[in-house]
Chain A
Amino acid sequence: MKVLVTVKRVIDYNVKVRVKSDNTDVDLANVKMAINPFCEIAVEEAVRLKEAGTATEIVAVSMGPKAAQEQLRTALALGADRAIHVETDEALESLTVAKMLAKIVDEEKPDLIVMGKQAIDSDNNQTGQMLAALSGMPQGTFASELKIEDGKALVTREVDGGLQTVALNMPAIVTTDLRLNEPRYASLPNIMKAKRKPLETKTPADLGVEVSARTKLLKVEPPAERSAGIKVDSVEQLVEKLKNEAKVI
């Protein structure tokens, strides 16, 4: 079974993002970048499938500027066998990424595609579902458990109020939620080995996809700050304030 995983280069989740003073976007100059945490979970899930003997090959894909190759090398160090980088400096919207992925899926013909449920920069939560639509595949989004049985992907999904399990024909697309697994760290020998693994570079034009903007970012502002209130000394005082001042109980 061939597994395709996608990784996105995003701001490291420990870094607090700042809005540019001209309100055009967030400021990513000299900010630490990393693999999107949900994509890391996707890579880990693929590696576990390979370790279990279910998967035979893992192909990692990323799109964006040349620097995204760092994240692909990380995916290779974690256990992916080879990587495909679609290089472009243009801003990519989810639909464009899905269209390019659909072309790669046509070429690679994976049996399973594992993606993060959302990227922690744009928080869109769209690309997996869009790729599923374009490729005519079923989708198991927000997965907390994945089993491959009798040619089907059994996906347990985190839904409002509990868990839902669906059976998907393959090829299928799975997007990861937090509890699917806990990703490993890449070992130093594996980081060294990853440098020699194949990494193919393509352009959007190679895939026959035009990078177009369907939305326009008009402005980006910092959120309204919530100011700290007061400290109370006792439970009595807290209850009194909630009753008489805030009037919420």
Chain B
Amino acid sequence: MAILVIAEHDNAVLKGSTLNAVTAASQMGDDIHMLVAGSGAQAVADAAAKVSGVTKVLLADDAAYEHQLAENVSLLVAELGKDYSHVVAPATTNGKNTLPRVAALLDVAQVSDIIRVESADTFVRPIYAGNAIATVQALDAIKVITVRTTGFDAAAAEGGSAAVETVAGSHDAAISAFVGEEVAVSDRPELTAADVIVSGGRGMGNGENFVLLENVADKLGAAVGASRAAVDAGFVPNDMQVGQTGKIVAPDLYIAVGISGAIQHLAGMKDSKVIVAINKDEEAPIFQVADYGLVADLFEVMPQLEAQL
């Protein structure tokens, strides 16, 4: 039986996280179908058809799916999912919102946030904020899986030539409605997609001081992140949070500035390729995971760093 991957998109663009989920799916089996549930999402379906490894695209185009309301999309996915061995989605807020609902409708367990595929029914996932790594076998006939995108490389966005099939009908549970959204607008790359991230912690002192990080980030084409401590202190909004309870990132370069290195923060960034820590406290735990540590006052060295890049 084939594998159904749920596309992450905004009705216009297929999001990169989908490509990581396709790679994970390709390690569970060969025949990969992709579901694009949206409204006016033909362009997304066309992009999905080109993804390497995808053999068929299902386009469910209906107003009920425009905002990815879990109440509606889960009915669709559960109906289609009955005929698949696996239902797979990236562990984005969207995937996390919808897939457990699908699993319950199918009366099967979900395995969340996998970082490795051992076999078609056995998966590896972090538990306890990444302080332990569990290997789990799913015993149900249909495996419902969310994929931590940093655990898998992205599948090639080009090279495939899958047929696009339209899924007729509409599932509108009519119990929830989209009211509005506030999307943070930034010229910088998204945290989860950035090659370089500059993050600030409680040591930044206040939100205004994050400009020191932004200046360096702009030199490097980097995203700006924050620790939970900085978010809790009200310096910056929560969508900048890197950590167990925020975003999980694994860029090529992660620069932690004024971040002590609490377990919950490390859980979100310790898979970064190279970690730099800048902190005036020599004892800060962040230095235990940093490839390069600089014990210094961030307010002195960040302008220097900016000047030397």
Chain A interface residues (CB < 8 Å from chain B)? 11, 13, 16-17, 19, 26, 93-95, 98, 120-134, 136-139, 141-142, 144, 154, 157-169, 177-179, 213-223, 226, 228-236, 238-239, 241-242, 246, 248-249
Contacts and interface: CB of A to CB of B under 8 A. Distances in A.
Contact of A138 (B94, B134, B173, B184): B173
A215 B136 contact: yes
B296 to A, nearest CB: 8
B117 interface: no
Interface string B135-167: 111111000000000000000000000000000
A230 B110 CA distance: 41
B182 interface: yes
B92 A226 contact: no
B182 A162 contact: yes
Interface of B: 67, 69-71, 74, 92-94, 96-105, 107-113, 122, 125-140, 173, 175-184, 190, 192, 196, 220, 228, 231-232, 238-239, 244-245, 247, 252-253, 263-264, 270, 273-276, 287-296, 301, 304-305, 308-309
Nearest to B247: A160
Contacts, number: 247
B239 A161 contact: yes
A241 B292 contact: yes
Given A230-B292, A249-B196, A235 B301 contact: yes
Given A129-B97, A249-B220, A242 B126 contact: no
A178 B228 contact: yes
Contacts of B93: 141-142, 157-160
A223 B199 CA distance: 23
A168 B176 contact: yes
Contacts of A229: 275, 290-293
Contact of B182 (A163, A167, A169): A163
Contacts of B181: 159, 162-165
B139 A213 contact: yes
Nearest to A234: B294
Nearest to A240: B308
Nearest to A123: B127
Given A160-B192, A214-B109, A242-B276, A16 B131 contact: yes
B291 A246 contact: yes
Contact of A134 (B97, B104, B264): B104
Given A218-B122, A230-B292, 15 more contacts: A95-B103, A121-B127, A124-B112, A132-B71, A133-B100, A139-B176, A158-B238, A164-B67, A165-B178, A166-B179, A213-B139, A215-B137, A223-B133, A226-B288, A238-B305
